[in-house]
Structure 1
Amino acid sequence: MKLVGISGALIGAKTAKIVNEVLNRAKEKNPGLDIELVDLRDYQIEFVDGRPLESYNDDTKNVVEKILEADFFVIGTPVYQASITGALKNLFDHLPTTVFETKVVGFVSTAGSNHHSLVAENQLRPILSFFKALVASKNVFVSNDSFNRENEIINEDVNRRLSELAEELLFLQGKLKG
């Protein structure tokens, strides 16, 4: 069983940190789990322009393939201008519409202020529904004040909620594969 985390940030480290926390907490609960972080900072994903996937660069094809091969997901996005990142939306545009069909997907989001706490809920959930995902209910928003200067999570409530999301993803995926 493979859990893939996708960090939709091109700058900063907080979103990748949060996604990786969920991956690692799931791995702690299920040591046989295969986990992988796809951090968009590490790839040059080309903009969608209508070509077939085979004609895009290797990074684009490799990331899409990693997603197609995964069993379930945790997706992270920072909130920029009251929205998910364009890089994450561009990645979604590369994917077939059935990519998440009957697959469990949870999400996390980060932002500088609590005013953006519902952005992922209002924007990611409809996108994931379009892709026919089974969306987790214990998704997590994390504001910048939950981190210290070294980008370590200092908010115990956030730590608890990240663990609960990891547990829910494992539970739902286990029931699905039953």
Structure 2
Amino acid sequence: MKLVVVSAGLSVPSSTRLLADRLAEAVRVAVVGKEPDEPVETEIIELRDHAKDIANTFVTGFPPPKLEEVLEHVTRADGLIAVTPIFSASYSGLFKSFFDVLDQDALTGKPVLIAATGGSPRHSLALEHALRPLFAYLRAVVVPTGVYAASEDWGGEGAADGPLASRMSRAAGELASLTCGTGSRPGPPRDAFEEVVPFAEQLAALRGEE
């Protein structure tokens, strides 16, 4: 199983990357629990490292080689975890820009776990009114449980086995069920040009009809 994790955290270290790492590990544990012989290959993509390339792609229309490779990894993944900080009650601009330059068919049928971080629990609904509609538009299969982590979720007693840990475990189990289920993994997008008939053959066919 190829699991790709997209993190839109801006600082180093960041709570967004921390949540991304925790979710990736939770999914790995859930997959092993369902399919003990299933190896899980995890790749973490830090969008902050590709911010300039993402911006340039908007201008030129063509992603640079490094960004193109990242986009390909997301497209080929069996499952995706997408984590963003919440700014002004929505996903970050960097997060949205990345999925804007991704091919519109890349996530079709792909299992996706959505997650976000923020300073206040008041922003938790951003998962439902911002992230879920975005991935529904991209025709991804979004797991029922979204994971939001406020600053207060990381400290104090019960952080390791409290509500946040419970949400992560439940969401990870849902993603594992989709990626390990029979026939659930999406195949690579079909190349629209694979079946194009060369012009010379089309012309020969027309002449033959005449």
Same fold (TM over 0.5): yes
Report the alpha carbon displacement of residue 154 of structure 1 after superposing the two structures with TM: 5.0
**Larger Cα-atom Rg:** 2
Q: Alignment partner of 1:30: what SS?
A: helix
Corresponding position: 1:123 with 2:124: no
Q: Alignment partner of 1:132: what SS?
A: coil
Query: What is aligned with 2:163?
Result: 157
Q: Alignment partner of 1:75: what SS?
A: strand
Which residue type is aligned with residue 162 of structure 2? E
Query: What is aligned with 1:49?
Result: 58
Alignment of 1:1-178 (within 5 A): 1-11=1-11, 13-31=14-32, 32-44=39-51, 45-47=53-55, 48-49=57-58, 51-53=60-62, 56-148=63-155, 153-154=159-160, 156-175=162-181, 177=183
Percent identity (aligned): 26
Contact 1:113 1:144 (C-alpha < 8 Å) held by counterparts: yes
Contact 1:146 1:154 (C-alpha < 8 Å) held by counterparts: no
Report the alpha carbon displacement of residue 50 of structure 1 after superposing the two structures with TM: 5.2
Q: Deviations over 1:126-170 (max 9, x none)?
A: 110111001100111111111139xxx556110111011111100
Which residue type is aligned with residue 160 of structure 1? S
**Cα 1:142–1:176, aligned 2, differ >3 Å: closer, same or farther?**
farther
Contact 2:127 2:146 (C-alpha < 8 Å) held by counterparts: no
Q: Alignment partner of 1:165: what SS?
A: helix
Report the alpha carbon displacement of residue 39 of structure 1 after superposing the two structures with TM: 1.6
- The CA distance in 2 between the partners of 1:116 and 1:155, in whole Å, is 22
Which residue type is aligned with residue 171 of structure 1? S
Q: Deviations over 1:93-133 (max 9, x none)?
A: 11111111111111111111111010121111111011100
Report the alpha carbon displacement of residue 59 of structure 1 after superposing the two structures with TM: 3.2
Which residue type is aligned with residue 26 of structure 2? R
Contact 1:27 1:33 (C-alpha < 8 Å) held by counterparts: yes
Which residue type is aligned with residue 162 of structure 1? M
Query: What is aligned with 2:201?
Result: none
**Cα 1:99–1:25, aligned 2, differ >3 Å: closer, same or farther?**
same
- The CA distance in 2 between the partners of 1:13 and 1:154, in whole Å, is 18
